Amino acid sequence: MTHSFHPSILREYDIRGIIGETLSVADARAIGAAFGTRVRANGGSTVCVGWDGRLSSPDLAAGLVEGLIATGCAVRKVGRGPTPMLYYAAKARSADGGIMVTGSHNPPNHNGFKMVLAGKPFFGPDIKDLGTIAEGGAFAQGSGSVVDDDIADEYAARLAADFDGQRGLKVVWDCGNGAAGEILGRLIKSLPGEHHVLFGDIDGTFPNHHPDPTEPHNLVDLQQAVADRGADMGIAFDGDGDRIGVIDGLGRILWGDQILVILAEDLLKTRPGATIIADVKASKAFFDEVARLGGNPVMGRTGHSLIKTQMAEIGAPLAGEMSGHIFFADRYYGYDDALYAAVRLLGIVGRWAGTTLAQRRDALPQMVNTPEMRFDCAEERKFQVVAEVRARLAASGARVNAIDGVRVDTPDGWWLLRASNTQAVLVARCEAGDQAGLDRLRAELEGQLTQSGVALPA
């Protein structure tokens, strides 16, 4: 039987849609059958399946499993939890593939799927291929099986195993009612110190605040709790637990590149000269600091699947994105796991003698920058706008890194313009040494956008 997906749901890094509008259980069943077909064609049969806490996730997971079984796959249902728990299950069970039902940090009525095949990210052309298989109806046929494999305790124990702090800390954790809550409850029982959990109950309506730690307004409750309890730090997770947010004991946000510098500094003590990857949105301060610490900083394209692939290709033990995806291949498996990153960060701070996270943050180079600016641009236009800007910059002789959009270096600092791979938006950021320089960079960016008929938000 053939099946056609809504054209908007097959994205670059995952499958994502709106329940009842662009995504249904029938779609999930077809995704399972198409992915199972790929697994069987690859010589495999075992697929791990997990799901987050969204209200629609159990039904989508059931449809997914039906489709997988129909292709002859042996399904291991690892249960409700964060996306990295599914990644762990695929590794620990030596599975041929894995699918996570998750809407990540998107609104409650959204949901989707993240996948791995043969231990590697499944994205880009692979996701498009699922649509081709479904439209042709060329599904593998078989009689598969399904078993329950509750891996939560095992996963929590694996996370705790790499804590190497010399003292416990007072930490406030904000799960945002997302999928990390139950695992965190298990994890903190194995960690020293004093731990306080906000919104640990998994609730797909997200009644307290949206689970996206890159948005400062979602961290207000955490900041208040850290202040009230005099905590050393606060840690927040997104809806599926693969992105981390961190605040210091003074309630200040550490952005993804700042977290990565602290992690890199510690790693480079045992792996001098190691390559550390940050995405194109990261501060110049990150690249300068990693070089100063004896590491090899490398700029990569934005996108968790792209970063994981690049890490494997060049053997980088650590990578991160401004969005809070942190990837450890040092003592771990090379995928983005916010819970694991938190354990490593607590270990580092717990080994510092007489230094707080707030003091270490103050010692980082201080830059003046805009937040990540995201603004609407039609899907059929967004990449063309970036191409137009790139062409004008090339003609002017500007210093441009075109690895992912355009990142322009000037005496004042740098500015970035790129097209989102997952939404009909353009993304921009500017960074300078002072406010006057930042104003000039923003004016240059705005001028380029104006020439392409796009307005930069105030």
Q: How far apart are CA 248 and CA 225, in angstroms?
A: 12
**Is the confidence at residue 150, as pLDDT, over 80?**
yes
Say if CB 240 and CB 247 are below 8 A apart: no
Between 444 and 422, the higher pLDDT residue: 444
pLDDT band for position 161 (50/70/90)? very high
User: Is 104 one of the annotated active-site residues of the chain?
Assistant: yes
pLDDT band for position 218 (50/70/90)? very high
Percent of the chain with pLDDT strictly greater than 70: 100
Percent of the chain with pLDDT strictly greater than 90: 93
SS (H, E, C) 251-301: CCEECHHHHHHHHHHHHHHHCCCCEEEEECCCCHHHHHHHHHCCCEEEEEC
pLDDT for 139 equals 97
Task: Name the class of domain 368-451.
Answer: alpha beta
Say if CB 299 and CB 290 are below 8 A apart: no
Residue with tokens 């840690």: 235
pLDDT for 337 equals 98
Q: Region 412-422: what's the mean pLDDT?
A: 92
Q: How far apart are CA 126 and CA 12, in angstroms?
A: 9
Q: How far apart are CA 191 and CA 166, in angstroms?
A: 11
The 8-class DSSP code of residue 422 comes to: S
Residue with tokens 């449809």: 63
Q: Please give the distance of CA 203 from its chain centroid, rounded to a whole number.
A: 20
Q: Region 321-350: what's the mean pLDDT?
A: 97
Question: What dotted CATH number matches 15-150?
Answer: 3.40.120.10
The answer to whether the predicted template modeling score (pTM) of the entire model surpasses 0.85 is yes
Over the stretch 232-286, which tens digit does the pLDDT of each residue have? 999 999 999 999 999 999 999 999 999 999 999 999 999 999 999 999 999 999 9
pLDDT band for position 13 (50/70/90)? confident
Over the stretch 205-214, which tens digit does the pLDDT of each residue have? 999 999 999 9
- Domain 368-451 in the same topology as domain 154-363: no
For the chain, the average pLDDT equals 96
**Is the confidence at residue 361, as pLDDT, over 90?**
yes
Over the stretch 70-128, which tens digit does the pLDDT of each residue have? 999 999 999 999 999 999 999 999 999 999 999 998 899 999 999 999 999 999 999 99
pLDDT band for position 24 (50/70/90)? very high
Residues whose CB falls within 8 Å of the CB of residue 308, separated by 6 or more in sequence, listed in order:
120, 121, 319, 327, 334, 335, 336
Q: Region 214-225: what's the mean pLDDT?
A: 96
pLDDT for 12 equals 83
Q: Region 384-407: what's the mean pLDDT?
A: 95
Pick the catalytic residue from 56, 104, 283, 305: 104
Over the stretch 59-70, which tens digit does the pLDDT of each residue have? 999 999 999 999
Which is the CATH superfamily of the domain at 154-363?
A: Alpha-D-Glucose-1,6-Bisphosphate, subunit A, domain 3 (3.40.120.10)
Q: How far apart are CA 22 and CA 195, in angstroms?
A: 40
Say if CB 341 and CB 263 are below 8 A apart: yes
List the beta bridge partners of residue 452. none
Q: How far apart are CA 267 and CA 258, in angstroms?
A: 14
**Is the confidence at residue 422, as pLDDT, over 80?**
no
Q: How far apart are CA 259 and CA 355, in angstroms?
A: 16
Q: Region 145-169: what's the mean pLDDT?
A: 97
The 8-class DSSP code of residue 71 comes to: T
Burial (CB count <10 Å: 0-12, 13-18, 19+), residue 305:
buried
Structural domain boundaries in the chain: 15-150, 154-363, 368-451
pLDDT for 371 equals 84
pLDDT band for position 359 (50/70/90)? very high
Say if CB 256 and CB 320 are below 8 A apart: yes
